[in-house]
Chains A and B, each alone.
Chain A
Amino acid sequence: MLSDTIAAVSTALGEGGIAIIRVSGPQAIPQVAPLFKSRIPLTEADSHTVHYGHIVSLQDGEQLEEVLVTVMKGPRSFTTEDVVEISAHGGVISVRRVMDLLLQQDIRLAEPGEFTKRAFLGGRIDLSQAEAVIDLIRSKSDRAFSVALKQVSGSLSARIHELRHTLIETLAHIEVNIDYPEHDVESLTADFIKDKSQEVMQGIDKLLRTANEGKILREGITTAIVGRPNVGKSSLLNALARDNKAIVTDIPGTTRDVIEEYVTINNIPLKLLDTAGIRETMDVVERIGVERSKAAFSDADLILLVLNANEELHEDELALMEQIHGRQALVIMNKMDLPSRLDTEKLRSFFAEASIVPMSVLEEEGLDRLEEAISALFFGGKLESGDLTYVSNVRHIALLKKAHKSLQDAYEAAEMLIPIDMIQIDVRLAWEQLGEIIGDTAADSLLDQIFSQFCLGK
C-alpha cells in the first residue's frame, strides 16, 4: 500500500478534448514502458520531458492510442514519487482502453485522494493542509463507496459470489489436504484443480463478455451509418434524432467528418455515427475523414448501410458489403418512393431478408420498421434483456482479467504437476481479486469454510 504503483484518470471523464491519466509509484516508469512505443524508450527518458508515441497492445504491438507521455522523476513530482502522465484523446473509450492496459500491469487503481495523500506524505503539501487532505480522503472514499455499492449490486454481485464460492470450496479442499494429511478426505488431484479453475475462468469470460454489453448500456450501442455520398445518411440520422429526442454532442478529439448523436430506441441507447462518405479519394483532407470513418466503422457494434434503391449497386458499395459481411448490420434501401433499380438478388446473397429494411427517409416512411429491426436484433439476439448483468467499471474489468490470469496460472501449474500448496497461491489470489470487486477480502471465511465443509479433529 505504501510502495505500490497506482493510476487514475486525473481529468473529469468526458469533459474537454484531452484526458490525462496519471501513474505514480516506484515502478511507474518500468510498468508503463512496455505499453508505450515512441522514439526513445520510456525507461531512458529524462525527467520532465514529453514524448509523442502510441499506447500499444502487449500481445501484438498494435498501436491503440495516440498519446503524449510526460515523465517526472521523484522527488520532483506532485507525489514526490516517479510519475508518468499520459495525455490521450478525451473520449471515454480511449481513456478506458489505456486504463485497462495499465491495470493489467502491476499497477492498481488509485484509492480516492491517494495522489494527494502521497504528495502530503512525501512532504509536498504544507502541514497546515493535513486536515484538508484527510477531509478529501474521507469524502472521496465515502462517495466512491456508495457508487461502488450501486455498481456491484444485484446480479453481478451474485455471480461473483457464485464464482468465489466455487473457489473457496476448492481452497478449503486444498487446505484440508495440507493441514490434515492423515484425514480421510478425498485427496486432491491435478484434474480436480484444473476442472475448477476452468469452470471459474469460463464464468469470468462470461462476465467479461457482458462487460461489453455494459459498455453498450452506458454509452449506447455504437452505430455507424455508412454509405456512398448522397444516399441519405444524414437525413436518416436527422430522422432518427427527431423521432427520438436526440442529444447532439460534439465529439472531442475528432474532426467534423464524424457526427455523433445519442438516441434511445425502445429503451436501447444508440450512439449514432454519421461517417463521411466512404469512397476512395485523392483529396488529402477528405482522405483523413475517410480514414476516421473507417475506424468508426470498424469499432461499431451495429452498422446501418444506406443504399439508394433508385440506383444500381456501385462497386464501392459492393466492397463495403464485403467488409460488413459477418457483422451485425441492417441494410436500408432508401428512396423506395422512387423506382427501384437495385439488384435485390445480389443484396440477398449478402444479407438476410430480415435485415433489409425498405424506407423512404424523405417521406419518413418505414422508420418504425427500422426501429423494430434494431430492437429485434439486440433484444432478440445478443442482449439478454431482463438479465443485464454488466460490468462496466474499468476497475472491475481489470480485476476480472487479473483473476482470470491467476486461474490460468493455477491451471498451467496443475498441468505441470506443481505441488498443490503452490497452485493454491494462485487460486487464492483469484479468490481475493474477485473479492475486491465486491469489497470482500476477509481471510477468515476460508477457515469457516474448511470447518463447515469437513469433519476434522482429534
Chain B
Amino acid sequence: MNYDGGSYDVIVIGAGHAGCEAALAAARMGCRTLMITINLDMVAFMPCNPSIGGPAKGHVVREIDALGGEMGRNIDKTFIQLRMLNTGKGPAVHALRAQADKFLYQHAMKETMEKTPNLTLRQGMVEELIVEDGRCAGVVTKTGTVYHSKTVILTTGTYLRGKVIMGELTYESGPNNQQPSVRLSENLRELGFDLVRFKTGTPPRVHKDSIDFSKTEIQPGDEKLKFFSFETKSSDNEQLPCWLTYTSPVTHQIINDNLHRAPMFTGIIEGTGPRYCPSIEDKVVRFSDKSQHQIFLEPEGKNTSEYYVQGLSTSLPEDVQLAVLRSIPGMEKVEMMRNGYAIEYDAMVPTQLWPSLETKRLPGLFTAGQINGTSGYEEAAGQGVIAGINAARKVQEKEPVVLDRSQGYIGVLIDDLVTKGTNEPYRLLTSRAEYRLLLRHDNADLRLTPIGYDIGLITEQRYEAFLDKKGRVDREIIRLQETKVKPVQVNEALASYGSAPIVDGSNLLTLMRRPELAYSFVDLISPSPEELDEEMKEQVEIQIKYAGYIEKQLLHVEKLQKMEKKKIPDDINYNEIHGLAMEARQKLTKIAPISIGQASRIGGVTPADISILLVYLEHYNRVTAAKG
C-alpha cells in the first residue's frame, strides 16, 4: 500500500559525499529538502581509502569550501594526518591531502546534517521516480512511501545494480556489503536513460597489531598545518603516521600463478575499470618489468585497528589475497580483517546532462557523483554542491550556476563529463585543466567565494573576512610596486639571499620577481604597515612571482570566455543548418551544447563547423530580432 510521505522542494537520493553536499546546499538555500538513503549509518561513508585531497582533488575540496560546501570543514574536524604535497613545485600544484578518521568523518557529517534547518533525513530505498507532465515530480520507496517534490537529485554512487566480485565469487551488493539498488536502475532504463557498466575496487584491510612496522618507512604528517577550509584557523587533532612498504618478487609470483582465478582476466568482470586505479593484478601484468610496487599502510581512524592497504586494490580470491598480503615485507604475519573486492555498477552516460547537472530527458531530475561516471569522494562532492545549488535555483526559478574551465576544477570536471562523456570512471587530474596556474589551491577562495556569497551559501561574516583578506593582499601588492628602493637599502639583504645586487633604483615588486627571493625579504626591507598573516604573504608572493605566466593564461581565458558567452538557443535544429558536416550534426544534436565554447570542445566538431554555426546563429539572431 502506498502512502503520502509529504512534499518537498528537493529530494536527494543517497547520502554519500555527493548526496550530503547536495542536500546541505539545497537546505541552506532555503529549500525544504529530504535526503533518503538505504542505511542512515552510512552517511558520508568512505568505502575505499580513508583520505581526502591530493592534487586536483584537494583543489576541489577548497573550491567546495569557497562555494559554501561542507567537505573542507568536515575533514578539518576529523583528520588524523595532514600533508601538503608538491611543495617543491609551483604554487599551482601544491596540494593538501588528509588522512581521515573515517568514522569520525561520518559522525561529524551526519551531526551537521541533522542540525541543518530545512533538511530531513530518512532511511529508505527509492525504487521509482514519479514523472508528471514530463517532469520529475517525486519518488516512491520500497515500503510504499510517496514523496512529492519539485526536483530530485540522484546520488546513488556504486549502488545501482551493484555486484561484488572476488575470485570466482560474485553477488549482488552495494559497497561494503550494503544492499544494492536494483529496481531504481531498471526504472531509469524504462525512462529512457542510457546506462553504462563501470567497475572499481578496493584493497583489503588488515589489523594494525599484526604489522611489523619496523620493516616499513614512516610517513609522518606536516608539522606546520594548513587546512582545507577558509574558516579553520587551527587544530588540536593528534596526527597518526602512514607507513610505506613494497611488494616483493614473491608477491608478483603469487599473482602470476593465480591469474586463472583473477576475474579481471577470466572475463567475469564486464565493467570498465579506471586506468588510474588499477588492481594489483593489473599492475603486475601490464607493468611486468617493474620489480616492485609501493604499498602504503594507512590508519582508518583513531579508535580502530584497521589499516587500509593502499596499492593493493584487488578482486583475487580471498585465499590469494591473504597470501599476497603476507608476501609483503612487514606483513608476514598479517591478519586480514576485510578482503578487497571489485564492484560493478550502473552509471549514467553523462552526456545526457546539461552543465547544470540536470538531465536533458527529464526536467527536474539531477544526477551527481559516481552515478555520473566519476570516481573519488572529492569529484562526487564537487558535483553534489553544484547539483544541490542548481536544484534549489530551479525551485527558486533562477538561472543555473555553471562554472567554466577557468573558474575551477569543478568546472573542468563537469564540462568534461557533459561535453565529452567518459568511457572509464573519471578521475580529476591537474593535467585536465588548461589553466592550471589560475586554478590554484591557494586562490580557490578568491576565485569562488563571491559566487558562494551570491548564491547565499557563504555567510555575511565570512564574506567580510574574505574581503578583508583580499583587500590586504591587493593593497600590499600596490604598496610593493610603489615602494622605490636604492641599491644601498637593499644590496646587503639581497646578498643574504644569494641574489645579485642592483645598480640603479628599483621597486620591491620588481625585486620580488626574482626566484630566489621570498616575502621574508620584504619583511626585512620594508615591513607592511598592515598586519598580514602567512596566507596573505604567500598570496602576495605568488601573485607577484608568477605574474608573467598568470597573465599569459588570463589572455587565453579572455578568449575562452567570449566563446562561452555566445549562447546557443535551445530550439536550434542542427539538421537544418546546411553546410555542417554530418559528424558535427550528429554530435551537436546529441550533446546540445549551451554555448559556442562548449560546442568547440566536442570531439569531431571542426573549426569550420564552428564557423558555420556562428554564421548560422548570427542569421538566426538577426531574423529573431527582426520578428521582434
Contact = CB atoms under 8 A, between A and B. Distances in A.
B90 interface: yes
B177 to A, nearest CB: 21
Given A182-B85, A422-B437, A458-B203, A121 B90 contact: no
Main SS at interface, chain A = helix
A144 to B, nearest CB: 9
B386 to A, nearest CB: 23
Given A111-B611, A121-B614, A179 B56 contact: yes
A458 B293 contact: no
Nearest to B434: A443
A175 B89 CA distance: 12
Contacts of B91: 419
B220 interface: no
B102 to A, nearest CB: 15
Given A421-B436, A455-B293, A137 B95 contact: no
Contact of A447 (B49, B431, B607): B431
A228 interface: no
A77 interface: no
B562 interface: yes
A457 B608 contact: no
A184 B276 CA distance: 15
B115 interface: no
B578 A447 contact: no
A127 B286 contact: no
Interface residues of A, number: 48
Nearest to B277: A457
A312 interface: no
A113 interface: yes
B288 to A, nearest CB: 10
Contacts of B577: 134
Interface in A1-59: 1-4
B242 to A, nearest CB: 10
Given A3-B559, A420-B89, A455-B283, A179 B578 contact: no
B473 to A, nearest CB: 21
Interface in B79-108: 85-86, 89-93, 95
Nearest to A423: B90
29 contacts: A2-B563, A111-B608, A117-B615, A120-B618, A123-B622, A127-B619, A134-B612, A137-B579, A137-B615, A141-B606, A141-B607, A141-B608, A178-B55, A178-B89, A178-B93, A179-B55, A181-B95, A183-B294, A417-B515, A419-B89, A420-B89, A420-B90, A421-B93, A421-B430, A425-B437, A455-B278, A455-B283, A458-B203, A458-B277
A158 interface: no
Contacts of A138: 579, 608, 612
Interface footprint category on B: 35 or more
A3 B555 CA distance: 11
Given A111-B607, A121-B614, A137-B608, A177 B89 contact: yes
Given A181-B85, A458-B49, A458-B310, A422 B90 contact: yes
A3 B552 contact: no
B515 A421 contact: no
Contacts of A114: 611
A123 B490 CA distance: 58
A416 B546 CA distance: 13
A131 B578 contact: yes
B308 to A, nearest CB: 9
A195 interface: no
Contact of B430 (A2, A179, A442): A179
B265 interface: no
B276 A456 contact: yes
A64 interface: no
Contacts of B437: 421-422, 425
A175 B431 contact: yes
A130 interface: yes
A409 to B, nearest CB: 10
Interface in B278-292: 278, 283, 286-287, 290
B436 A130 contact: no
Given A3-B559, A137-B611, 4 more contacts: A121-B618, A137-B579, A455-B293, A457-B276
A421 B90 contact: yes
A134 B578 contact: yes
B600 interface: yes
B493 interface: no
B90 A3 contact: no
A120 B86 CA distance: 49
Contact of A113 (B296, B431, B611): B611
B408 interface: no
Interface in B598-621: 600, 603, 606-608, 610-612, 614-616, 618-619
B568 to A, nearest CB: 14
Given A127-B622, A138-B608, A451 B55 contact: no
Interface of B: 48-49, 54-56, 85-86, 89-93, 95, 203, 274-278, 283, 286-287, 290, 293-294, 296, 310-311, 313, 429-432, 436-437, 515, 546, 549, 552-553, 558-559, 562-563, 566, 577-579, 596, 600, 603, 606-608, 610-612, 614-616, 618-619, 622-623
A130 B611 contact: no
Contacts of B430: 175, 178-179, 421
A318 interface: no
A450 B610 contact: no
A127 B56 CA distance: 47
Nearest to B550: A422
Nearest to B246: A184
Given A117-B615, A137-B608, A3 B579 contact: no
A422 B549 contact: yes
B546 A422 contact: yes
B283 A457 contact: yes
Interface in A376-406: none
A268 interface: no
A4 B559 contact: yes
Contact of A121 (B290, B515, B615): B615
A178 B54 CA distance: 10
Contacts of A451: 275-276
A301 B611 CA distance: 42
B492 to A, nearest CB: 24
A447 B615 CA distance: 34
A446 interface: yes
B612 A416 contact: no
B566 A2 contact: yes
B429 A421 contact: no
Contacts of A117: 611, 614-615
A455 B549 contact: no
B394 to A, nearest CB: 30
Nearest to B516: A417
A123 B615 CA distance: 10
Nearest to B202: A458
5 closest residue pairs by CB, A with B: A419-B90, A141-B608, A134-B579, A455-B287, A130-B619
A141 B584 CA distance: 14
Contacts of A4: 559
Q: Which of B89, B293, B558 has the most CB of A within 10 A?
A: B89
Contacts of B431: 175, 178-179, 446-447, 450
Given A114-B611, A421-B92, A450-B431, A135 B515 contact: no
A457 B313 contact: yes
Contacts of A313: none
Contacts of A113: 611
B559 A2 contact: yes
A3 B562 contact: yes
A281 B578 CA distance: 66
A3 B612 CA distance: 16
Contacts of A135: 579
A417 B607 CA distance: 37
A133 interface: yes
B85 A421 contact: no
A457 B275 CA distance: 8
Interface string A163-197: 00000000000010111111110000000000000
